[in-house]
Amino acid sequence: MSITHGIKRLGVLGAGQMGLGIAYVAALRAKVNVQLYDVSPEQLDKGLKFMDKLLAKDVSKGKIAELDAKEARERVTAVGKDKGVAGLRDVDMAVEAVSEKLSLKQKIFGELAAELRPDAILASNTSSISITKIAASTVPQNVSAASEQGKANAGRVVGLHFFNPVPVMKLVELIPGLQTTEETLTRARAFAVACGKDVSTSQDVPGFVSNALLMPFINEAIMCLEKGTATRDDIDKTLRLGMNHPMGPLQLADFIGLDTCLAIQQTLYHGTGDSKYRPSILLERMVDAQWYGKKNGKGFYEYD
């Protein structure tokens, strides 16, 4: 018997580029109602305007019907800071897509476990932080992790890792923590498929499969630049034209966000204790300078 995801209402936490993309595919492809939550009213406004632009572009290119775009947009509502996470109380699933900070995610998952229905799935779009650790934060301090409540809380937490730009990239990486139940995994997988994605599964190791492979590659490209092995343009050109990558590694780093790249590389380095993952000093310095890449106008390249 196939298990459906059973999700009618989805909460998305974080209206940045990932959260917005998740809201977009959920409303348009999976046709679920989406409550998009962000503590910043400016970010919510910016996110919803971007969604309008994306829908209008897809209609003008004949990729989607005008009515489908209209219905998708109507499925998305904004939830602001005033209501807090409690504003998502009725959702069947929440996907967290806030910045890559363990303490922030732990706080959010503690609140989600307390506010949402016990059968709601709690997913994280983290690109490298341990799902097991995040799941543990759903168990209140006075409750044993081995108790029924402890197992039920943590058992509904799962990693659901989308790729940027979410409307375009075809994959979702599914990551069970030690505590994740089979039912949670099956429903989360079914939801990703309903969003039009193919799914790969990774164990809960630092970086999962995707970033255990991608981030050392990007870090190595930055080290090549640092050492003067080749210029920025030649590093990117080599991978674009020599290996048919859609973007060179330095352009891709800017696209992902240099702060995010550094956070992932640090997770690999500290999570494994292996010196081969040491972050490039140039990457650290660029983040110190608050050069975060495309999102704030300066990284290895400059953006308008």
From the list 173, 210, 219, 280, the catalytic residue is: 173
- The verdict on whether residue 248 carries a ligand-binding annotation is no
Residue 173 bears catalytic tag: yes
Residue type at 40 in one-letter notation: S
Q: Which is nearer to ligand CAA, 97 or 256 (CB)?
A: 256
- The verdict on whether residue 177 carries a ligand-binding annotation is no
Residue 40 buriedness (CB in 10 A; 0-12 / 13-18 / 19+): middle
Q: Which is nearer to ligand CAA, 137 or 210 (CB)?
A: 210
- Cα separation, 32 vs 30, in Å, equals 6
Q: Which helix (H) or strand (E) holds 162?
A: strand 157-162
- The verdict on whether residue 170 carries a ligand-binding annotation is no
- The verdict on whether residue 288 carries a ligand-binding annotation is no
From the list 124, 125, 127, 153, the catalytic residue is: 127
- The verdict on whether residue 33 carries a ligand-binding annotation is no
- The verdict on whether residue 16 carries a ligand-binding annotation is yes
- In terms of DSSP bridges, do strands 76-79 and 171-176 run parallel, antiparallel, or are they unpaired? unpaired
Find the shortest distance in angstroms from Cβ 24 to ligand CAA.
Answer: 8
- The verdict on whether residue 18 carries a ligand-binding annotation is yes
Q: Which is nearer to ligand CAA, 58 or 92 (CB)?
A: 58
Residue 125 bears catalytic tag: no
Residue 142 bears catalytic tag: no
Instruction: Name 26's Cβ contacts closer than 8 Å, sequence gap at least 6.
Output: 10, 12, 32, 34, 195
Q: Residue 172 phi/psi, 5° resolution?
A: -130, 135
Q: Which is nearer to ligand CAA, 61 or 82 (CB)?
A: 61
Orientation of helix 258-272 relative to helix 249-256, angle to 10°: 100
Find the shortest distance in angstroms from Cβ 139 to ligand CAA.
Answer: 27
Point out which residues bind ligand CAA (CB under 6 A).
Answer: 54, 61, 127, 163-165, 167-169, 210-211, 246-247, 252, 256
- Cα separation, 25 vs 132, in Å, equals 26
Instruction: Name 43's Cβ contacts closer than 8 Å, sequence gap at least 6.
Output: 15, 16
From the list 5, 161, 202, 219, the catalytic residue is: 161
Q: Which is nearer to ligand CAA, 255 or 291 (CB)?
A: 255
Distance of CA 5 to the CA centre of its chain: 19
Closest to 10 in 3D by CA, of 107, 102, 100, 125: 125
From the list 128, 153, 202, 211, the catalytic residue is: 211
92 close to 10: Cβ distance less than 8 angstroms: yes
Give the catalytic positions in this structure.
Answer: 127, 161, 173, 211
Please enumerate, by residue number, every residue annotated as part of a binding site for NAD(+): 14-19, 38, 100, 105, 127, 164, 295
Annotated binding site: 14-19, 38, 100, 105, 127, 164, 295
